[in-house]
Structure 1
Amino acid sequence: MRSAVVVGAGIGGLAAAGALARSGWRVTLLERDDRIRAGRAAVVLWPNGVRALRALGLAGGLEGISTPVPPAGIHRPDGSWLVPPGAAELESPPVVVHREDLHDAFIAGIGEQVDVRGGIAVQSARVRRDRPAVGDGRVMFEGDLVVAADGPDSAIRRRLAAASTFASAGFAAWRAVIPWYRAPELPAGVPGHGDVLGGGQRFAYASLGERGSAGGSSRGGISWVATVPGALRPEPPAGQLALLRRWFAGWHGPVAQLLDATEADDLVQEPVGEIIPLPDTLGIAAGAGGYALIGDAAHAMPHHLAQGASLALEDVATLQTVLAGGAVPAALHEYNRLRRPRILRVLQQSKKAAAVLQSRGRIAASIARVNPRSLERAAAAATEWGGPTG
């Protein structure tokens, strides 16, 4: 039986551990925290992410925990349109799902087939007895395959692709989910989702299910994400929330209401950045086995197109498919051949979106006037994924 070590228990790591275990691998899952925890915020899955879930056999029940988010255009802070609603070139709208619900689905997918080890902070990666191995300074874990799913600051990527580092984009982001019992009633005629952009700042929100309904997310409420220029804030969450309320005061729609209903414990602060340059290869042979870089460990990028989770799931679906074909080194070569050009295409679309989303004042307005559908086209192009072998 072939063995694998998966490092990191986020969306990509859990999906990879389950996929490998269901394919007959003996899997060890290493997590830095003392136990596997779900994120407290929500995540967007685009049509390509949903296709990847189907390829992994994990899409069953997704409708019961997710809510569609049809394109609704982008407002300026004063309520005027920056990008009016239009006909999106998508096969279906993206969906939003609470990370805890997605986490539960993945945990059910790994069952008891995966050896989960908490409190393991991987620091090293090398070849041991002709097989890849990782260690935390005390214990080494080896297998035929090591999957690096340990995030943008990946210790494994730093060892194997030292020239590729996570660089800040000069923005910070916050996410939160306001549960229904605290969520404000949206004004009549205001849709359950929206997007407001101005001065380099952005605030987007979406409802998880419907208030008082058993449908949609089982952990319903209103999810929001706010992005502002600058570095991560050092203040405690209560201080960060006070700053957000000040920065977004007077913005269009329910922005202020949502921030007023948010509590400090709801906040999740995230850096916004990119792996520069993209590693030369996302699959590295090591003896008779090798390493696969997936998700943010391989290709973290600014979340302008909200493709992070979907790309990680694409990685896993592709990795599962190529590994079914034979020797690990050859499979990793094929994995890189399929994934690296795809990631470069999405990075190109992300930069197009950034031209609008990170521009300020008159520059942003002029770009939107010249090409008002550029954001929609970039989002649609980023979803173009033909499946694990395309």
Structure 2
Amino acid sequence: MRTAVVVGAGIGGLAAAGALARSGWKVTLLERDDRLRPGRAALVLWPNGVRALRALGLAAGLDGISTPVPPAGIRRPDGSWLVPPAALATTGDLGSPPVVVHREDLHDAFIAGLGDQVDVRGGIAVQSARVRRDRPAVGDGRVMFEADLIVAADGPDSAIRRRLAPATTFASAGFAAWRAVIPWYRVPELPAGLPAHGELLGFGQRFAYASLGERGSAGGSTRGGISWVATVPGALRPEPPAGQLALLRRWFAGWHEPVTQLLETTEAEDLVQEPVGELTPLPDTFGPVAGAGGYALVGDAAHAMPHHLAQGASLALEDVATLQTVLAGGAVPAALQEYNRLRRPRILRVLQQSRKAAAVLQSRGRIAASIARVHPRTLERAAAAATEWGGPTG
């Protein structure tokens, strides 16, 4: 039986561990926390991410825990239209709209898909990777874990990638982001006629929100409410969550409803702060070979990028679906070379579109005059290119 070690129990790591186990591998899943913990916020899955879930056999039940987010236009902070919904609707057809899902619900689905071939070990912070022996191995300073395949799903600050691709670093984009989910019992009544999801854009600031189900009934999820994400210029804030929330309320004071209302009903423990940046340069390969085995970099460990296109989770799932497919074909080294051949051009295309979107969404100059002309064309084309993935072999 072939063996694999998966490092990191986020979206990509859980999906990879389950996919390998269902394919007949004996899998060890290493997580730095003492137990597997879901994220506290929500995430967006675009059509390509949903297709990847289907390829992995994990899409069953998704309709019950997710909510579609069709184009709703973009407003200025005063509520006037920057880009009306009709402008977005006529600039391209993305097929089905993206969906928003609570991380805890997706986490539960992935945990159920692990099976009994996965040995889960918590409290292990991988610090090193061995690349000069016949088989790859990683260690936490006390124990080395050796396998035919090591899957690095340990995020943008990946210790494994730092060893395999030391020239690659995570570079901040000069912005910070916050996410939160407000449960329905605390969500204020939205004004009549205001859609259940929307986006507002100011001078370098952005606020987007979406409903997780409907008030009083969250479908198959018990974690319904309003999910929001806010982006502001600057570095990560060192203040405790209560101080960060106070700053957000001040920065977005006076913005059109429901921004101020949502921030007022958010509590400090709801907040999740995230850096905004990208890996630069990308690793030379996402599939380094080591003897008869090797490493697969997936998700943010391979290609972290700003969340302008909200593609982080979807790209990680694409990685795993592709890895599962190529590994079915034979020897690990050849499979990893094929994995890199398929994934690297795709990631470069999405990264290029993300940078184009950043030029619009992070503009701090004469944004009102330029974005209304550029935004529909730029962002719709970027989203279309990002979602064009048709399956694990292309």
State the 1:215 CA deviation. Answer: 1.5
State the 1:127 CA deviation. Answer: 3.7
Q: Matched residues, percent identical?
A: 90
Partner-residue secondary structure (3-state), 1:110 = coil
> Which residue of the partner structure matches residue 61 of structure 2?
61
Contact 1:176 1:224 in 2 (8 A): yes
Output the amino acid matched with 2:4.
Answer: A
Contact 1:288 1:328 in 2 (8 A): yes
Q: 1:228 to 1:3 in 2, by over 3 A?
A: same
Contact 2:200 2:206 in 1 (8 A): yes
Contact 1:122 1:136 in 2 (8 A): yes
State the 1:335 CA deviation. Answer: 0.1
1:294 to 280, 293, 298: 298
> Which residue of the partner structure matches residue 358 of structure 2?
354
Output the amino acid matched with 1:265.
Answer: E
Find the aligned partners of 2:369 and 2:109 in 1 and give their Cα distance.
42
Output the amino acid matched with 1:52.
Answer: A
Output the amino acid matched with 2:21.
Answer: A
Q: 1:364 to 1:216 in 2, by over 3 A?
A: farther
> Which residue of the partner structure matches residue 82 of structure 1?
82
Describe the superposition over 1:312-368 as per-residue Cα deviations: whole angstroms up to 9, x where unpaired.
Answer: 000000000000000000000000000000000000110111111000241453143
Output the amino acid matched with 2:187.
Answer: A
2:346 to 326, 342, 348: 342
State the 1:111 CA deviation. Answer: 2.6
> Which residue of the partner structure matches residue 198 of structure 2?
194
Aligned 1:249-328 pairs, distance under 5 A: 249-328=253-332
TM-score (ref. length: structure 2): 0.97
Q: Provide the alpha-carbon RMSD of the alignment.
A: 1.1
Output the amino acid matched with 1:82.
Answer: L
Find the aligned partners of 1:365 and 1:320 in 2 and give their Cα distance.
47
Find the aligned partners of 1:214 and 1:197 in 2 and give their Cα distance.
28
> Which residue of the partner structure matches residue 17 of structure 1?
17
State the 1:216 CA deviation. Answer: 5.6
State the 1:373 CA deviation. Answer: 2.8
Structure 1 stretches lacking a partner, 5+ long: none
> Which residue of the partner structure matches residue 70 of structure 2?
70
Describe the superposition over 1:249-308 as per-residue Cα deviations: whole angstroms up to 9, x where unpaired.
Answer: 111120000000000000000000100001110000001000000000000000000000
State the 1:218 CA deviation. Answer: 2.8
Contact 2:126 2:159 in 1 (8 A): yes
Find the aligned partners of 1:367 and 1:178 in 2 and give their Cα distance.
30
Find the aligned partners of 1:243 and 1:235 in 2 and give their Cα distance.
10
> Which residue of the partner structure matches residue 111 of structure 1?
115
> Which residue of the partner structure matches residue 28 of structure 2?
28
Describe the superposition over 1:57-92 as per-residue Cα deviations: whole angstroms up to 9, x where unpaired.
Answer: 000000000000001111110111122212142110
Output the amino acid matched with 1:21.
Answer: A
Contact 1:64 1:215 in 2 (8 A): yes
Matched, 1:223 2:207: no
Output the amino acid matched with 1:165.
Answer: T
> Which residue of the partner structure matches residue 48 of structure 1?
48
Find the aligned partners of 2:149 and 2:245 in 1 and give their Cα distance.
42
Contact 1:82 1:365 in 2 (8 A): no
Find the aligned partners of 2:23 and 2:259 in 1 and give their Cα distance.
46
Describe the superposition over 1:138-181 as per-residue Cα deviations: whole angstroms up to 9, x where unpaired.
Answer: 00001000000000000000000001110100000000000001
State the 1:129 CA deviation. Answer: 5.1
Contact 2:212 2:218 in 1 (8 A): no
Matched, 1:378 2:379: no
Contact 1:356 1:368 in 2 (8 A): no
Aligned residues: 390
Contact 1:7 1:31 in 2 (8 A): yes
Partner-residue secondary structure (3-state), 1:225 = strand
Structure 1 moving runs of 4+ over 4 Å: none
